[in-house]
């Protein structure tokens, strides 16, 4: 059983399109995160939800909108995609907010052409 | 200046070598220090965790924290080809988000 799963694994799309990435965790954790990893492997947090409540909202363009329908799911919707959005997006979860041990999904490799 | 600095490498060593990976940081409030390992095309996974200063050993891995120098290290003894991965340091203050280093890409050659 996959602990943290993401769909899709790969996403290739054109500039200006809108796309969504879905994440689910079956670990019973309270907190979920979205990270962006650029081509240099630099991992940067974007958002975090604790029990469906937004607790971290880093400086991210408004085109990115997270949504947590329940504490096991965290989705990321991106409007008007730009070339600079190309990256690997990782979902993660932890038992409690801001735990040092976070469990990462396999990542979604987004390529904007 | 980035809060956490890590040499991205790449670092290539022969099997059996001792590997030393390092990070420096600028925020003296950091108290929790982690090393994550990321295999190619996979998500990061927690490898070691240390609170405040000192050493921690787990099998072939040793994590060291020197808060006076704002410097942390991960040592891998008797390195194996299966250790080939990107190693990311991460740290945080009490109650804050994780701040990651850029990651060091390590290759252990058989």
Q: What is the full per-residue pLDDT of chain B (110 aa) written as tens digits?
A: 789 999 888 999 999 999 999 999 999 999 999 999 999 999 999 999 998 888 999 999 999 999 999 999 999 999 999 999 999 999 998 878 899 999 999 999 99
Assess whether pLDDT exceeds 90 at residue A12. yes
Could you tell me whether strands B4-6 and B19-25 are parallel, antiparallel, or unpaired per DSSP bridges?
Answer: antiparallel
* Distance from the B44 Cα atom to the nearest Cα atom in chain A, whole angstroms: 6
Please write the tens of the pLDDT for every residue from A16-32.
999 999 999 999 999 99
Q: What's the whole-number mean pLDDT along residues A32-50?
A: 92
- Sign of the torsion formed by the C-alpha atoms of A1, A76, A54 and A56: positive
Residue A93: per-residue pLDDT: 96
Residue A48: per-residue pLDDT: 94
Residue A1: per-residue pLDDT: 64
Chain B residues whose C-beta is within 8 A of a chain A C-beta are 8, 32, 34, 38, 41-46, 49, 86, 88, 90, 92, 95-98, 100, 102-103, 105
Nearest by CB to B95, from A92, A98, A101: name it: A98
Peptide bond into B75 cis (omega under 30): no
Q: What's the whole-number mean pLDDT along residues A104-110?
A: 97
Residue A33: per-residue pLDDT: 96
Contact B2, B97 (CB under 8 A): no
Residue A21: per-residue pLDDT: 98
Q: What is the pLDDT confidence band of residue A98, given thresholds at 50, 70 and 90?
A: confident
Cα separations in angstroms, A18 against A78, A83, B28, B51? 6, 13, 41, 42
């Amino acid at each position: 059983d996959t602990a943290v799963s993401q769909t899709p694994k790969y996403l290739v799309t054109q500039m200006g399109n809108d796309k969504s990435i879905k994440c689910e965790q079956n670990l019973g954790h309270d907190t979920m995160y979205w990270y962006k990893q650029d081509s240099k492997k630099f991992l940067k947090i974007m958002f975090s939800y604790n029990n469906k409540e937004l607790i971290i909202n880093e400086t991210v363009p408004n085109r990115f909108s997270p949504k947590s329908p329940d504490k096991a799911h965290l989705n990321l919707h991106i409007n008007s995609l730009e070339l600079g959005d190309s990256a690997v997006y990782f979902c993660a979860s932890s038992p409690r907010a801001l735990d040092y041990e976070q469990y990462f999904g396999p990542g979604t490799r987004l390529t904007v052409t | 200046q980035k809060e956490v600095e890590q040499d991205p490498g790449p670092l290539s060593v022969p099997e059996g070598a001792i590997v030393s990976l390092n990070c420096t940081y600028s925020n003296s409030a950091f108290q929790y220090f982690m090393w994550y390992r990321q295999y190619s095309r996979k998500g990061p996974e927690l490898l070691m965790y240390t609170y405040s200063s000192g050493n921690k050993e787990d099998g072939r891995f040793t994590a060291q924290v020197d808060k006076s120098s704002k410097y942390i290290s991960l040592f891998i003894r008797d390195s194996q080809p299966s250790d080939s991965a990107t190693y990311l340091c991460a740290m945080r203050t009490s109650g804050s988000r994780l701040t990651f280093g850029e990651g060091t890409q390590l290759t252990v050659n058989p």
